[in-house]
Amino acid sequence: MPHTTRRFPRVISWVWLIIGLMAAIPAAAAAPAAADRATSTKTWAVILDPRVPLATRQQALQQLVESTKVSDQHDLYLLGSLYWMGRRASAAPVQRDLNQAAIYMSNAAIHGSLLGMAKMAEIDLAVHKDSEAMIWAQVYAHYAMQLPPNQRPNQGYTAELVQRIIDKLGRAGVTQAMPQVSNFIALHDADIRADSDSDFDGRQPQPTSKSRPYLTPEYRFAPKSGIADYLLAFHPDGSEAHAWLLDAIPDPLLGADLRHYAHEMRVPPIKAQTGPGLRYAWEVVMFDDHRYRVAP
């Protein structure tokens, strides 16, 4: 596990777009039914749509909470992300609540959400539970390395997450965390592998070709690393209709900075007679290490 801190240019950085990497650990059990996932995604499209009245968004969220399966890591992850971000998310109908975020996110992580593990480290770090944050960071690193090489998140984010925790705990914190990391893996490994899935509704979005670097607004310093989640809506011709931000860690401003890339996503067109409605897809953007690519 690298722990070195890297230097970043002041105004130029690249991003790495990952489609469907949430809980991309190989699963032994079948993924949730496509119809259930499609229904969930359309509900999120109501929750995050600023054009929808607040009461309607709140009702949609309540219905989602009541219908969420205990082991559905996908919605657990999204609910945890919503409560972590609070009103800073697109049209979010709830205030920020880190206790509620931790409940949903920890359950998502235990049921196979890879990024849920990383976000639990971020949540614990935010509430000054530094030792717990180190455990989650090391668990995330462990499962990230279990992925096939072409699906692993770049180690830059992992290294910087660990370094931020080391800045609080000291390097001894890594050694002290490892016995608990081993215990956690021994206790939960079977559930994590059984419940994990990486499927998203619809076709995977693809970015347009890149010919320019990313510049932060007003040339300010870019966050060194982080993750942002967007719900994308696409017209039948494959063009992007909306990009709604759900979450951005560790800095909420990262979500605004990376929205530029979300707007560049496209999906293959569909014939008009197959349905005029919008198609939706979740997009996870990882900002780290000057790299930009889409993982299958």
Class of 206-295 per CATH?
Answer: alpha beta
**Comma-separated ranges of CATH 1.25.40.10 domains in the chain:** 23-195
Higher pLDDT, 192 or 2: 192
Which of 110-119, 157-166, 205-214 has the lowest average pLDDT? Answer: 205-214
State the span(s) of the chain assigned CATH 3.30.2420.
206-295
Tell me the two tokens of residue 49.
């749509």
Q: What is the mean pLDDT of residues 26-54?
A: 75
In this prediction, residue 82 carries a pLDDT of 96
- 281, 226 Cβ separation under 8 angstroms: no
Greater confidence, 120 or 225?
Answer: 120
> Per-residue pLDDT for 85 more than 80?
yes
Which segment of 122-126, 158-162, 196-200, 280-284 scores lowest on mean pLDDT? 196-200
pLDDT at 289 over 90: no
pLDDT in the model for residue 8: 31
- Tens-place pLDDT, residues 253-282: 888 878 877 888 888 888 765 555 888 888
Give residues with Cβ within 8 angstroms of 156, minimum separation 6.
6, 225, 288, 289, 291
Could you tell me the fold of the domain covering 23-195? 1.25.40
Token representation of residue 248: 């951005």
Rounded Cα–Cα distance for residues 249 and 85 (Å): 9
Q: What is the pLDDT at residue 73?
A: 87
Q: What pLDDT, in 10s, does the model give residues 231-248?
A: 999 988 888 899 999 999
Query: Predicted confidence band at 229 (pLDDT cuts at 50, 70, 90)?
Result: very high
Q: Which two tokens stand for residue 249?
A: 């860690």
3-state helix, strand, coil in the chain (%, to 5): 50, 15, 40
Predicted local confidence at residue 56, as pLDDT? 96
Phi, psi dihedral angles at 54 (to 5 degrees):
-55, -45
Q: Which band of pLDDT confidence, cut at 50, 70 and 90, is reported for residue 80?
A: very high
Q: What is the DSSP string of 69-133?
A: -TT-HHHHHHHHHHHHHGGGSTT-SS---HHHHHHHHHHHHHTT-HHHHHHHHHHHHHTT-HHHH
State mean pLDDT over 63-68: 84
